[in-house]
Chain A
Amino acid sequence: MLSFLTILFALTLIYLSITERFRSFSKLIAIQGFLLFGIAFLELTEVNTANLIFIVTETVVFKAIVVPMILYRIINRIRIYKVHSKALPGFYSLLFTIMGLFLSIILANTLMDKFIDTVYLTIALFTLFTGLLIIVTHKLLFSHMIGFLVIENAVFMFSLAAGKEMPMLINIGILLDIFASVLILGIFINKIGSQHRDLMADTLTSLKH
């Protein structure tokens, strides 16, 4: 079951890197939230109840429900539904993503250690790579935000790889997630959405003087 959820999570990453619709982005982020919940629930059998409740709240309530709802709200507000300016066509994105997957497998095997779960490390590295790829290859700020949320999921995955012995680290990682996401989504929905209607990263260049 655990392997199935992990593979499913990797598949959502591949889909994320090639999709061009904002609503699909939001749905995939929600699915990732549920998958992370499943993985954490099955993996962290030794953590105490309070920690488990904290993790469930973060993955299901925050990652799978609240964040996607905010994303939908942003989409409806800015009325941009599709990636219309992308540095890379979908085919090349897919190619890079597959390369990233292989790179992550090689790197995780190089870093193999008896205290670390190699599968989680592979997926965490792949998630990090995908997040960075989305930020680099897209021009819309909305896509950058999605890239950041994916990086946050990578951090969560890393916490699972490392945090069985130090549950405090998972909790702090979760706090980072909530803190940064709320801050970024908050400023996006309240400020940038109303001032930069086109939401292109290219337009944010007035500071280069």
Chain B
Amino acid sequence: MSMFGFRISPSSTIDLDKVDRNRFKKLCALEPDASKCMACGSCSATCSASEFSGMSVRKVLLCLQQGREKEAYAMMSSCMLCGKCLMVCPRGINTRHLILSISRIYGKEESI
């Protein structure tokens, strides 16, 4: 690889046809608010943990939609459940409850 002084970067393409979306569907059934998010980022802007850990409810939802479950779950483990995101969400999503539901559904699976 180093013979040329550069290398091929792994592709960031996400093939949604190959993503298992069953758990996300389960989440939407349990927590219909999950599909209300418009990714405005207010939650990320107010998050106390975000600056230190990269936690963001917006990103967590995006990762779950794209099947990047490990990444989403690791990010969420920094959440302190302070509820600031709940107060600023313009769509009125109960983010704290959403996070608990995510841990309930995704935390059970050993595979992730």
Q: Do A and B bind each other?
A: no
The residues of A with any CB-CB pair to B shorter than 8 Å are none
